[in-house]
Amino acid sequence: MEKTSIIAIGALVVAGLLLTSVVLAGVGNNDKNGFQVNGKHYNLNIIGKDKHADVGDSSGHTMFVLENGRTRIYMTQNDSGVFDVVDRNGLDGRAEFNIAPGQYNIYARALGKPGGKVKIDAYGNFTDAVNGTNLILLGYVNIAREKGKPQSVNINELFYVDVTLCTKINETSGECEEWVVYKDYWVFDIDELLEYYWEYNNKGLKLLQVRFYECTLDPTGEANDYCRWVDGTPIDSKKTVIPA
């Protein structure tokens, strides 16, 4: 499956920033290929602010990042069992978000005044028998706030990733004796994952809305909620262990 590396999203000014975790039946958006994006989901607001802004201390579905600058957003999927904005104040350059258990179809759209844009680089840090750890750029998207009707666009490529790691070395030669290859794999299911984060490089984007819809890893595409790529084809995750 060839994944798209650049995404441009149209946007619409919205009244208010309070977002709910459920969309009522019949209300929602379609992605650019016409797939329905509605129903039960978790909604995350990533809001661009000046670094001196007061973001308060209330909980909810909001996270604050630099409107012009770089914020590192760490994401986890731990045993808490819930979506949780762990650190919502990213104006100091760091924020944190936990994802509830499962796999998800993940969509994003840019909102706010026209002209803003963001580049998101997704990184994973993994254990590796040769180097100890291995930091890998897993994917990226460019999202722009453009005029016109907003489009919710699939960004699964940032979460279903390709990774090759050494899991065993020859103690005499130091060379790798066994590799593990993950293909289109949900990043938080990779055994060797140490940390996952976004480098959120913002240039004036006021609001990015990110939605998480729980999905079924069904490579046949027969499940109603199958995990899919941007063109609608089902995700087929594979793990392969290869002796040297």
**What value does the mean pLDDT take over residues 128-139?**
95
User: Is residue 44 assigned to a domain?
Assistant: yes
Report which residue type is found at 242: I
User: Is residue 243 assigned to a domain?
Assistant: no
User: Is residue 164 assigned to a domain?
Assistant: no
Q: 222-225, long-range: CB within 8 Å, 24+ apart, which pairs?
A: 225/105
How many independent structural domains does the chain possess?
1
- What's the pLDDT tens digit per position in 148-171? 777 788 999 999 999 999 999 998
Question: Is the pLDDT assigned to residue 103 strictly greater than 80?
Answer: yes
Confirm if 115 and 154 have CB atoms less than 8 A apart. no
Report the Cα–Cα distance between both ends of the chain, in Å, rounded: 26
Residue 91's pLDDT is what? 95
Give phi and psi for 46, each to the nearest 5: -110, 110
Torsion region of 29: left, alpha or beta (phi above 0 gives left; psi -120 to 50 gives alpha)? beta
- What's the pLDDT tens digit per position in 217-243? 999 999 999 999 999 999 999 999 998
Question: Is the pLDDT assigned to residue 69 strictly greater than 50?
Answer: yes
Q: Is the whole-model pTM more than 0.85?
A: no
User: Is residue 153 assigned to a domain?
Assistant: yes
158: how many CB neighbours lie within 10 A of its CB?
20
Confirm if 116 and 204 have CB atoms less than 8 A apart. yes
User: Is residue 1 assigned to a domain?
Assistant: no
User: Is residue 177 assigned to a domain?
Assistant: no
Name the band, by pLDDT with cuts 50, 70 and 90, for residue 10: very low
User: Is residue 58 assigned to a domain?
Assistant: yes
The region of weakest confidence among 171-175, 177-181, 229-233 is 171-175
When comparing pLDDT for 103 and 59, which is higher?
Answer: 103
- What's the pLDDT tens digit per position in 48-61? 998 888 877 666 78
Name the band, by pLDDT with cuts 50, 70 and 90, for residue 40: confident
Confirm if 97 and 77 have CB atoms less than 8 A apart. no
Q: Which residues contact 159 (CB under 8 A, 6 or more apart)?
A: 104, 106, 122, 186, 187
Residue 225's pLDDT is what? 92
User: Is residue 88 assigned to a domain?
Assistant: yes
Find the domain containing 144 and state its range: 9-123+137-159+199-236
Torsion region of 123: left, alpha or beta (phi above 0 gives left; psi -120 to 50 gives alpha)? beta
Tokens of 206: 């006021």
